[in-house]
Chain A
Amino acid sequence: MDQLIQVLIIGLANGLIFALVALGYTLVYGIIELINFAHGDVFMLGSMLAFFLVAPASSGGWAVFPIDEGMAFPLKVAEILAVLAICMAMTALLNVTIERVAYRPLRNAPKLAPLISAIGMSYVLQNIGLVWGGAYQRTIDSVFPATNMLEPFGITAIVVTPAQLFVAVVTIPLLIALTLFVNRTRQGRAMRATAQDPDTAGLMGVDVNRTIAITFLIGGGLAGAAGVAQLLYNNYTVYTLGFRFGLNSFTAAVLGGIGNLQGAVLGALVIGEVNALSDRYLSPNWTQAIVFGVLIAILVFRPTGLLGQQLADRA
């Protein structure tokens, strides 16, 4: 039982990272009905940038913000925040650029044209990661101590590490902020209007192109945060990370009901748990097949996902 809870905690932490990436998929799909295939690779480049910012020169990094386990807590927080800010800004800009270059010119093209363009873009970004980071896994030493956060409460059978707490501290505020942004702000309303009907939204005075660009900006920023969380929690990055992670997150978005923000988070947590349970109780060799199996089953039997509304002819 303790072991199961432990596995679930690991799944939860990874699920939260998936959630940040899945939101990028679901935001973009919700607004322009495009599976942004390159999104996983934006996340990968975010984690790659984080690696170079954090890693010491001895392991090939730039050591701009060297973070190690032993440093003073306020300094560590400041450096992590700086890395987060830089990575989020860069991936947000990257995502907007991609939209401008590869998707906006195809806004009125046949529906599959932007999907194919996105696949091409995914390969471009993946190879940028390959040129930049090399063909091998880049690892850093853990920046968090391996202590148990639950020990002060007298629980020793279950371990929650500071790294896992860090993931929660980074992701949960972002998830809440995004929900508030979409539901409460003027720009959020413009996004929802554009998602419903871009032409009508345009007639009502919404700048559709700008709204779509902002959607990509937000999605890219979340992917950057996920990249930092991935690096500091799992301590590695590699140029192929985007494909695997991206498909996990896309599955999460589909599972929750694509276009639905809460659904994406829920789906991501489920996919995180599926990954963790399969890794532990079945075999890591089969995990990817199981995730794809979930994806296929959802698309075939319930294309609207767990929380999605009925969307005629979208599937």
Chain B
Amino acid sequence: MSAAADTVGTGVGGWLGYVGGTLAAIPGQYMAALRRHRARTIGLTIVFLAVVLYPVIGHYVLSEFSRNVFPLPYPDDTVATFMTIFAIMAIGLNIVAGFAGLLDLGYVAFYAIGAYTAAFLASPHFGALGINLTFLGHVGPGAVGIHLPYWIIVIVAVAVVATFGALLGAPTLRLRGDYLAIVTLGFGEIVPLFFKNLSSVTFSLNLGPINIQLQNQNWTGGVQGINPIDPPYLPGFDVIFDARSGALAVYLGLFMLGIAILVARNLEHSRIGRAWGAIREDETAAEMMGVNTVRTKLLAFALGASFAGVAGSFQASYLGASTSDFFSFSISILVLIMVILGGIGNIWGAVFGAFALTYVDKTLLPYIGQRIGDVAPSLPNPAQYNFLIFGVILVVMMRFRPQGFLPSRQREAELTVSGLQDAEAELGIPVEVDNVSIAPHGQSEIGQGARDAETTDEARDL
């Protein structure tokens, strides 16, 4: 990844050194953070410990608590795993939409490509086409198809999805704002259609030396999708956990989420991260300042997409199946709501949004539905109308708190007047309240004031 390349040069040794250095610096950084932001650091520590110890707490404390003390359901291991999957995706979308300001409404395409990469590389599927590669995987004798180890699949998925991110991003480079959003939406619809429709490929090409004859070949499994997919096999860990244990998947998800957060943080504060901020604020000005906008945007698409590759391959391996219908437009929107809810541009906001929304979607609403069903079976089940609630969240958030619940300070300054004042107060610059009164049509409420007559362009591209 180029961020690492910018800071430590290339090569596995350099990378390992970098990771080691980062890890070694953590205690010192932690103490420094504790001195500077005491309350915040302690709070984050509690959150961190709660997350790491979650499966234990969930099994032994929360289940009792929710049963006997307070009737709020706690997310089980499956939901907790999906929390990490969606958090990884939200971090990735946050890179594209939050850091670089490119609204991607087709993010599900990369999720699908990641999932199908895992499906192709760790299932008996290709055995039917006579393609077998089993000696690397953790499968018994007589297995057919391609079976690669999990971590290789993750790496391949990242590479494949990043490539597709750049490929699908390339045609959109000239577009801005809403047109970009619609083109990405189109890709998000087309990619799953390919996975759905390429289940009986018949193709014939005869050009002398090149002779391709395909007769009714099933490439993608069609509507049924591909299954079974090998579960993530982690050598050594099966001693501690049962291979199919839910807790293992939660920790695996948390581990990858941790790496995702680390990578995203480093990207944000790298040269590329600053270039993303610059093109988000004002693409023309950024180009004038020497930012290579083509390269920077392509990197945003590729790197942002690669997170969905991790999430998709993990999900496919975890569920053991990959079906095209799962990858609908709704998923793109769901991840977008997570990012917006948490605070666009903020990594922790994306994680918070993903956790909160996944919990509401997969645990809270079904639970409420069940309770309602117990009392009055004729009433509608809220779990069935989850997107009604999410739609309302989107409308209300845009109206009253466009910067999200954990806003990135920079984006808050762009999106609201009070955020601008906070930022300027911190910098010791006198606050110009002019842009409150200049705001067109005399409206100066939160979320509308930051745009004055001079800042139209920067504020427009969210």
Using a CB–CB cutoff of 8 Å, the interface residues on chain A facing chain B are 33-35, 101-102, 105-117, 119-124, 126-128, 130-131, 135, 199, 208, 243, 247, 250, 254, 283, 285-286, 288-289, 292-293, 295-296, 299-300, 303, 313-315
The reply to whether A288 and B394 form a contact with Cβ atoms under 8 Å apart is no
The reply to whether A113 and B447 form a contact with Cβ atoms under 8 Å apart is yes
The reply to whether A108 and B193 form a contact with Cβ atoms under 8 Å apart is no
Given contact pairs A127-B387, A292-B187, a sample of 5 additional A-B residue pairs in the complex whose CB atoms are under 8 Å apart: A110-B462, A116-B398, A120-B390, A123-B394, A300-B183
Q: Which of B145-153, B168-176, B347-355 forms contacts with chain A?
A: B168-176
Chain A CB within 8 A of B443 CB:
yes
The reply to whether A313 and B395 form a contact with Cβ atoms under 8 Å apart is no
A285 to B193 Cα, complex, angstroms: 8
Given the contacts A127-B391, A293-B190, A117 and B399 also touching, CB distance less than 8 Å: yes
One digit per residue, 1 when the CB lies within 8 angstroms of any chain A CB and 0 when it does not, for chain B 385-397 equals 1011011111100
Chain A CB within 8 A of B282 CB:
no
Chain A CB within 8 A of B415 CB:
yes
Number of chain B interface residues as a range: 35 or more
14 CB contacts below 8 A, A to B, read A108-B439, A108-B448, A109-B447, A112-B460, A123-B333, A123-B394, A131-B388, A135-B384, A254-B182, A288-B189, A292-B186, A292-B189, A296-B186, A300-B172
A210 to B175 Cα, complex, angstroms: 31
B189: chain A residues within 8 A (beta carbon):
247, 288-289, 292
Given the contacts A116-B398, A243-B329, A110 and B391 also touching, CB distance less than 8 Å: no
One digit per residue, 1 when the CB lies within 8 angstroms of any chain A CB and 0 when it does not, for chain B 181-204 equals 111011101100110110000000
Given the contacts A112-B181, A303-B179, A107 and B443 also touching, CB distance less than 8 Å: yes
The reply to whether B178 and A115 form a contact with Cβ atoms under 8 Å apart is yes
A119 to B106 Cα, complex, angstroms: 13
A114 to B176 Cα, complex, angstroms: 15
A131: chain B residues within 8 A (beta carbon):
380, 385, 388
A289 to B193 Cα, complex, angstroms: 7
The reply to whether B394 and A116 form a contact with Cβ atoms under 8 Å apart is yes
The reply to whether B174 and A315 form a contact with Cβ atoms under 8 Å apart is yes
The reply to whether A124 and B175 form a contact with Cβ atoms under 8 Å apart is no
List residues 436-462 of chain B with CB under 8 A from any CB of chain A: 439-441, 443, 445, 447-448, 451, 459-462
Among residues of B, the one whose C-beta sits closest to the C-beta of A295 is B186
B444–chain A nearest beta-carbon distance, Å: 9
Find B177's partner among A111, A122, A293 (CB 8 Å cutoff).
A111
A285 to B187 Cα, complex, angstroms: 16
A210 to B26 Cα, complex, angstroms: 59
A193–chain B nearest beta-carbon distance, Å: 16
The reply to whether A199 and B440 form a contact with Cβ atoms under 8 Å apart is yes
Chain A CB within 8 A of B278 CB:
no
The reply to whether A120 and B193 form a contact with Cβ atoms under 8 Å apart is no
For the complex of A and B, list the 8 residue pairs with the smallest distance between their C-beta atoms, beginning with the closest: A120-B394, A123-B391, A127-B388, A112-B462, A124-B391, A292-B186, A111-B460, A117-B398
A288 to B441 Cα, complex, angstroms: 41
Among residues of B, the one whose C-beta sits closest to the C-beta of A209 is B441
B231: chain A residues within 8 A (beta carbon):
none
Chain A CB within 8 A of B103 CB:
yes
Among residues of B, the one whose C-beta sits closest to the C-beta of A105 is B399
Given the contacts A243-B329, A293-B190, A296-B183, A123 and B174 also touching, CB distance less than 8 Å: no
Find A112's partner among B103, B194, B440 (CB 8 Å cutoff).
B103
A112 to B440 Cα, complex, angstroms: 17
The reply to whether A112 and B177 form a contact with Cβ atoms under 8 Å apart is yes
The reply to whether B461 and A112 form a contact with Cβ atoms under 8 Å apart is yes
A130: chain B residues within 8 A (beta carbon):
384-385, 388
Among residues of A, the one whose C-beta sits closest to the C-beta of B394 is A120
The reply to whether B175 and A300 form a contact with Cβ atoms under 8 Å apart is yes
Chain A CB within 8 A of B340 CB:
yes
Given the contacts A117-B399, A315-B175, A250 and B391 also touching, CB distance less than 8 Å: no
Among residues of B, the one whose C-beta sits closest to the C-beta of A127 is B388
